[in-house]
Every structure is written in structure tokens, then in C-alpha cells.
Chains A and B, each alone.
Chain A
Amino acid sequence: MTGRLEQAPSEVAEPGGQFTAIRFENVVKRYTDFEALRGVNLEVSRGQLVTLLGPSGCGKTTLLRTVNRLIEPSQGTVYLNGQDVEKLDQVGLRRGIGYVIQSIGLFPHMTVLENTLVVPRLLGWDRAKRGARAREMLALVGLEPATYASRYPRELSGGQAQRVGLARALCADPPVLLMDEPFGAVDPPTRERLQDEFLRLQGELKKTVLFVTHDLEEAVKISDRICLMNIGQVEQYDTPAELLGRPKTEFVRSFLGPSRTLLRLSRVPLDGLVEPLGVRVPPFSVAQTAMARDAFSSLLAHGGRVVGVRDERGKVVGMVRLESLLQAASEDE
């Protein structure tokens, strides 16, 4: 993951180059009494997951909606794969973009299957093809088609509904996904599970994703790059590690808050910090695949200075010291 991130700047070096999927050029949105966007310039590379992060009213959702033209900018241009979206047919543009919103907006009068194949139907795929594709998508998001296909949205839990929303957005295989706080309305454990599964999917599908959230932790967890916004402007656009490590403005520093050090650990894999076991095996352990933050939480919870690391069979094979965790957290500062 880190390797891919480090390549990113060279990919976007050339403005509007072939690796740029979405480009905002001096985008301004003015309403009668206020300016929602005050000249946003931003490039999203193909296959990257970029979050638009910021407090309520910072313009992140407005910016997202200029891509599928649910909002038309007052000034400036949005390019999708090098094409000015304003010059594209609005309906065709939207059918080519996956769209997920917080309230999900499943069609209550359609079954789960019908909801999922909405875009392929609009695109005129034949019945057999779109049905098969929709079932495949439901299975992909973890909903057994045989069980769920004929249910109506009111029969679903919040988490299940959000999965259907994701399956619906992915069904026509759009290269670009717009997600507006998609996991904002579900309970925390479900949110975390949905995030994990979405990350796994994104690892396979490599969509270009523009993801709106106000949740710093979520942004740090899932993003290739984070665009932190405030009052209609971009404050900082960086990888999570850079953003947490080198906040550029006072706003960024205060938005990240004191927990930013801890958050950095949630992006650090344990691998590099593991040492061989000493004479004493630590009484508690975390999985080898966990992040540094999990090890740190475990140390805090148990009040120790050393935590064991276990392999997939549950055998403790190494250990991590508190000192190495603290060092990893403060690196580059």
C-alpha cells in the first residue's frame, strides 16, 4: 500500500495526464448568500481512493456532486478522464458513474435484485446479462442472492441496505465511484466491517473513488490520499501519513487534534516493528496482520511494555516493544 502511495505524486505530475481520472480546475460554487466552493483545484489519479474530509459545511459534498452534475459549478471546470463534464450528456455521464449516498436511497418499490440492476437496465443490457451481473454483485458485497434477491428494502437492516447500495453502484462496472458518507448511518461495528470489506473490494476492483466523510479515522483508514477541506477550499491534499505527520496549516493541525499521533499508528503495519521473542513470552498478543495501533491499544489495556505477536495459527512468534511503537508514531516529526 505504501509503495503505491509513493508513486502517486509522479502519476499526477502532468496536469490532466493519462493517469488523472478526475480534475477540478478552479471550481467555484456561489449561492445567493454564501460561497460553498471558493476555487478548488484537485486531481484524483486513476484507481485511487481519495477522501474529501472536513467539518460540516466545508463544501465536500458540494464538490463531490459537481462530478456527476447534480450541482453545476458557478465557475471553473470539472474534467472526467480529460473531458469537461459540462459538455457530456448529463444522463449518460451519471450512468457511467457509481453513486452511493449516506441515506442510501434504495428504491422502496423494487426488490433488492431490481434495485441492483437499475443502471444496467437503464443502459439497455439484456435481461439475462443484467440479472446474472446483479446476482454476482450481491454475492460480492456479501449478500447471498438466493436469500436477498427478492426482498424489499424495508426488510433489510441498515448494514444490508448499504451493501445493496454499494452493489447497485458497482453493477454496471463504472470506473469511477462517488460515495457521500456511505457508512455514516450505520452503527460503529457495522461501519468498521463495511469499511474492511470495501477496502478488500477496492483492492480487487481498483476503482477511482471519491469518498466524502467527516470522520478522520475513517479517512485515515481507507484513503490513498486525503483532501482536507475548510470553508470551500482545500487545506491540504496528501497521503494519510503525510497529512498526519506534517500538517501544513493551523486549521489542519487543529482538525487532526491530539489523536493524530495515535491515528498514524493505524496506518503502520506491525511487520517492521516485530522483534524475536526473548526469554519470556508476553502474556498477551495481537495478530501478525494487525496494525501498530492495535498493538498500542493492547499495551494500554493490559498495562504492559511488551506485546506478543501471533501468527495465523495463534502461536506467539515475536514481540513488539512500546518504545518501537512510540518511535514509529513520532517518526518524521
Chain B
Amino acid sequence: MQSAWGKLWLVGLLWAGLFGLFAQQALWGHILSALFPSAQTPLFDRETLLSLSLQHLGITVAAGLLVILIGLPLAIFATRPLGAAFRPLLESSVAIGQTFPPVAVLVLALPIFGFGSTGAVLALFLYGLLPVVRGGLEAFSALPADVLEAASGMGYSPTQRLWRVEFPLALPVLLAGIRASLVLILATATVAPLVGGGGLGTPIVAGLAVSNLGFVTEGAVSVALLALLTDWTLTRLEAVLTPWRS
């Protein structure tokens, strides 16, 4: 496993590189001026790009952690004999969670959580729950029956079987769900500024309001870069955590 973590150095390097790029305020200014010569200030100047991207990542990580910490246990519970009856309810509620437009949830949450990132995190959590829960349900129901039978026959207790056999075998599908959820949250987090949540949506919303395509481009390109790197990071993580697959 130690050597496996060594394989993740490239991931760390790319994250450092990306934030290094976000810190190059002047460089972004030059590029956007070249692209949109008519705009007076093509680069959003009320906050630095670095600070916006860190806010964005913060909201995403907070919502993502909530999704994992709540979604995974729910999926595990619903795939145990004890929680099987609960499964249809869980499936439909996460589906409803995703049919609610995040913007509507944001506005509805406004009176409860007020202005700030809490409402945004909550809305994104509801929105991102579906891929993780659905992935979890699928992962734990599609495990090879012969392996599970062998595990019980060998004398694994149900708890031991869950953690030592089922969880590792479910991991690829679980991670795929988490990846989908994180990318979804990351992209959708651009609506956060509507309730004062900050993040990379700020220049986009401002740019739309004042018809400044430079602002919009700044926010959109940065979100896309973050999304790509997040996706790739989880792909790498999956390869490292499941060396037993080809």
C-alpha cells in the first residue's frame, strides 16, 4: 500500500500546479484582454481568482463530504437484510432530491440559513446525493454471490464480511458514484453566489449581469479545469485502491 500512495505524487503535483496557475492574476488578465479586447476590465477584480477557486473548492468538498458521510451509510444500511425494506424509500427520496432544481433549494433555504455558504452546501448536498446512494446500492447488490457464499462459509461474521470482503469489492463502483457526485457538485456550485456563497460562480453571475464575457470565461474555464482534475484524481485513486483489478 505504501508504494501505491507513491503513485499519487503526480496528482499532488497537478493540484499544486493548478492553484499555481490560479494565482497568476496578471497572466489571466493578459490572456482575457487578448481574447476580449473590447472589455474595459476583462478580469474580475473584486476578488482574486485564487481566492474564488479556493472558496469554490471549499463548498464542493464540504458538500461532497456530507454526501459521502450520509449517502454511503444509507446505501450500506439499505443493502443489509435489516434495511432492505427501506431501500425503495431511499431510492425515491434521493431521486426527488435531484429533481429539485438547486437554485430553488437555494432560495428556499435562504430564510433558514440566511446569506452565506451554508445554504449552498445544503442544496448541493441534496443534489449530489443521488449518484453516491445509487452507486452504493448498486455496488453492494451486484457483488459475486459465490464470493459472498465462500466468505460466509469460511466463517466471516456479517460485520467482518461487510468490511473485509464486501466493501473492498464494492469500492470501484462506490468510487465511480463519488466521482460523478463530486463533479456534479463542483459544476453546480456556480449557483452559490446567488445566496452569497461565493466561489467561481461569482464572476460568472457578475459577468452575466453586466454582459462581460471576460468574467464569464474566467469563471467557466476555472470550473472546467477543477472538474477535470477532480475527475482524474478520483480515477487515479481508484487505480491505487483496487490494485487487484487489471
Select the residue from A110, A118, A153 with max chain B CB neighbours within 10 A.
Answer: A118
A109 touches B168 (CB 8 A): yes
B246 touches A99 (CB 8 A): no
Bound complex: CA A105 to CA B144 (Å): 8
Tell me the minimal C-beta distance from B238 to chain A in angstroms.
Answer: 13
A154 touches B149 (CB 8 A): no
B169 touches A119 (CB 8 A): no
B154 touches A108 (CB 8 A): no
Tell me the minimal C-beta distance from A130 to chain B in angstroms.
Answer: 14
| Chain A residues, CB < 8 A from B149 | 70, 101, 105
The reply to whether the CB of A128 lies closer than 8 angstroms to some CB of chain B is no
B146 touches A101 (CB 8 A): yes
The reply to whether the CB of B242 lies closer than 8 angstroms to some CB of chain A is yes
Bound complex: CA A91 to CA B161 (Å): 11
| Chain A residues, CB < 8 A from B15 | none
Bound complex: CA A152 to CA B153 (Å): 21
Bound complex: CA A119 to CA B155 (Å): 7
A118 touches B154 (CB 8 A): yes
A154 touches B246 (CB 8 A): yes
| Chain B residues, CB < 8 A from A99 | 150, 153-154
Number of residues of chain B lying within 8 A (CB) of chain A? 22
B242 touches A122 (CB 8 A): no
| Chain A residues, CB < 8 A from B147 | 105-108
Encode contact with B along A102-116: 1 for CB under 8 Å, 0 otherwise: 011111111100000
Encode contact with B along A137-168: 1 for CB under 8 Å, 0 otherwise: 00000000000000011100000000000001
B155 touches A92 (CB 8 A): yes
The reply to whether the CB of A239 lies closer than 8 angstroms to some CB of chain B is no
Bound complex: CA A253 to CA B148 (Å): 38
Bound complex: CA A91 to CA B152 (Å): 8
The closest CB in chain B to the CB of A168 belongs to B154
A109 touches B154 (CB 8 A): no
Bound complex: CA A70 to CA B153 (Å): 7
| Chain A residues, CB < 8 A from B169 | 107-109
Instruction: Give chain B interface residues in 192-246, CB to chain A under 8 Å.
Output: 242-246
Bound complex: CA A70 to CA B160 (Å): 17
B244 touches A105 (CB 8 A): no
The reply to whether the CB of A95 lies closer than 8 angstroms to some CB of chain B is yes
Instruction: Give chain B interface residues in 140-181, CB to chain A under 8 Å.
Output: 144, 146-157, 160, 165, 168-169
Encode contact with A along B115-158: 1 for CB under 8 Å, 0 otherwise: 00000000000000000000000000000101111111111110
Instruction: Give chain B interface residues in 59-99, CB to chain A under 8 Å.
Output: none
Given A110-B244, A154-B244, A105 and B146 contact (CB-CB distance below 8 Å): yes
Bound complex: CA A103 to CA B150 (Å): 9
Given A106-B147, A107-B165, A122-B160, A70 and B152 contact (CB-CB distance below 8 Å): yes
Bound complex: CA A238 to CA B245 (Å): 47
Instruction: Give chain A interface residues in 77-117, CB to chain B under 8 Å.
Output: 91-96, 99, 101, 103-111
Given A68-B153, A94-B152, A152 and B146 contact (CB-CB distance below 8 Å): no
Given A108-B169, A109-B168, A154-B244, A91 and B150 contact (CB-CB distance below 8 Å): no
Bound complex: CA A153 to CA B152 (Å): 19
Q: Which of A95, A108, A119 contacts B244 (CB 8 A)?
A: A108
Select the residue from A93, A94, A154, A178 with max chain B CB neighbours within 10 A.
Answer: A94
Given A101-B146, A104-B146, A122-B160, A109 and B153 contact (CB-CB distance below 8 Å): no
Bound complex: CA A119 to CA B150 (Å): 11
A109 touches B242 (CB 8 A): yes
The closest CB in chain B to the CB of A151 belongs to B244
Bound complex: CA A92 to CA B160 (Å): 13
Bound complex: CA A110 to CA B151 (Å): 12
| Chain A residues, CB < 8 A from B156 | 91, 122
Tell me the minimal C-beta distance from A175 to chain B in angstroms.
Answer: 15
Tell me the minimal C-beta distance from A37 to chain B in angstroms.
Answer: 19
Given A152-B244, A154-B246, A107 and B151 contact (CB-CB distance below 8 Å): yes
| Chain A residues, CB < 8 A from B154 | 94-95, 99, 118-119, 122, 168
Bound complex: CA A127 to CA B146 (Å): 27
Tell me the minimal C-beta distance from A270 to chain B in angstroms.
Answer: 40
Query: What are 21 A-B pairs at a CB distance below 8 A?
Result: A70-B152, A70-B153, A91-B156, A92-B155, A94-B152, A94-B153, A101-B146, A101-B149, A105-B146, A105-B147, A105-B148, A105-B151, A106-B150, A107-B147, A107-B169, A109-B165, A109-B242, A111-B244, A118-B154, A152-B243, A178-B153
* 16 other A-B residue contacts (CB within 8 Å) besides A101-B146, A119-B155: A68-B153, A70-B149, A70-B152, A91-B155, A91-B156, A96-B155, A99-B153, A104-B150, A105-B149, A105-B151, A107-B150, A107-B169, A108-B169, A109-B169, A111-B244, A122-B160
Chain B residues packing against A (C-beta within 8 Å): 144, 146-157, 160, 165, 168-169, 242-246
Pick the 9 closest A-B CB pairs, nearest first.
Answer: A105-B150, A95-B155, A94-B155, A103-B146, A99-B153, A105-B146, A109-B168, A152-B244, A109-B244
